[in-house]
Amino acid sequence: MKIKYLSLLCLILLLSSCKNETQLYKIEGQQIPVSDSIPINEEIDAFIKPYRTHINKDLDSTLAYCVKTYSKNDGHLNTAIGNFMADVVFEQGDPVFYSRTGKHMDMVLLNHGGIRSILSKGKVTARNAYELMPFDNSIVVVELRGEQVIELTNYLATRKKAHPISKLNLKVDKDFNIQSALINGEPITKEKTYYVATNDYLYNGGSHMDFFQTNVGMHKLDYKIRNSLIDYFSKVDTINPVIDDRFIQIN
């Protein structure tokens, strides 16, 4: 019996010795390309086909008509499509905000880079809304004192970019010094609280809009910008935005 246990102990020690001496020699990897050449699984494709057909039908149903093709590059300090998106956020978002707070939004600020597609001439569909705003950004209303709104206008003047705005009128000179800044036709008052609609990405500092962080309060509308576009498309016949004087440079 002792010999049996001694043999077992020797075997364990031998295996342990071999394990301790084992060393990694090399690591090899292989790239496996993924492409559309991979065969379709007919069974899975047949299962999802009815759902795909239903979704595509909803996305491609005509909601309105667009009179021409609009791009975010079609203007200097304001663009037709940017004006359109900011105005839609105001028109669709303000009733929601008022129903919850008894207050009205004062203005809207979005970001130029958030417009991710053109809006083409012809039929307008829900798919167009997904193309314009593929992200799940939601509307928020930020309470800003007049001092922070002045920071906001200075930001727009120094960036020299067509960030979409609504209800704010801004005029700058040839050196981009602010000559006039009005909200709903009135000068900005430092002591007043303004309700500025934007999206959650910008509220959290996106596009370096840090002035939103110095706020009195914030209200989530639980209303995606994409959904506000779809709702607007559904209630109008024609989309015909224009470049106007809401942000211009004067001599």
Query: H/E/C letters for each residue in the chain?
Result: CHHHHHHHHHHHHHHHHHHHHCCCCCCCCCCCCCCCCCCCCHHHHHHHHHHHHHHHHHHHCEEEEECCCECCCCCCCCCHHHHHHHHHHHHHHHHHHHHHHCCCCCEEECCHHHCCCCECCEEEEHHHHHHHCCCCCEEEEEEEEHHHHHHHHHHHHHHCCCCCEECEEEEECCCCCEEEEEECCEECCCCCEEEEEEEHHHHCCHHHCHHHHCCCEEEEEEEEHHHHHHHHHHHCCEECCCCCCCEEECC
CATH number of residue 71's parent domain: 3.90.780.10
Pick from 3-7, 73-77, 188-192: least confident: 3-7
pLDDT at 27 over 70: yes
**Does residue 39 lie within any of the structural domains?**
no
**Does residue 20 lie within any of the structural domains?**
no
For a pLDDT cut of 70, what percent of the chain falls above it? Answer: 88
**Does residue 11 lie within any of the structural domains?**
no
pLDDT at 168 over 50: yes
Query: How much is the average pLDDT of 145-149?
Result: 98
How many domains are contained in the chain? 1
Task: Give me the pLDDT at residue 118, please.
Answer: 97
Q: Which tokens sit at 107?
A: 């203005």
**Does residue 53 lie within any of the structural domains?**
no
| Exposure string for 172-203, b = 16+ CB within 10 A, e = fewer | beeeeeeeebebeeeebeeeebbbbbbbbbbb
For a pLDDT cut of 90, what percent of the chain falls above it? Answer: 76
**Does residue 218 lie within any of the structural domains?**
yes
Pick from 38-42, 200-204, 205-209: least confident: 38-42
**Does residue 164 lie within any of the structural domains?**
yes
Domain enclosing residue 184, as ranges: 58-249
Task: Give me the pLDDT at residue 74, please.
Answer: 94
Q: Which pLDDT tens digit goes with each residue over 97-135?
A: 999 999 999 999 999 999 999 999 999 999 999 999 999
**Does residue 17 lie within any of the structural domains?**
no
pLDDT at 24 over 80: no
Higher pLDDT, 38 or 148: 148
Query: How much is the average pLDDT of 45-65?
Result: 83
Q: Which pLDDT tens digit goes with each residue over 75-90?
A: 999 999 999 999 999 9
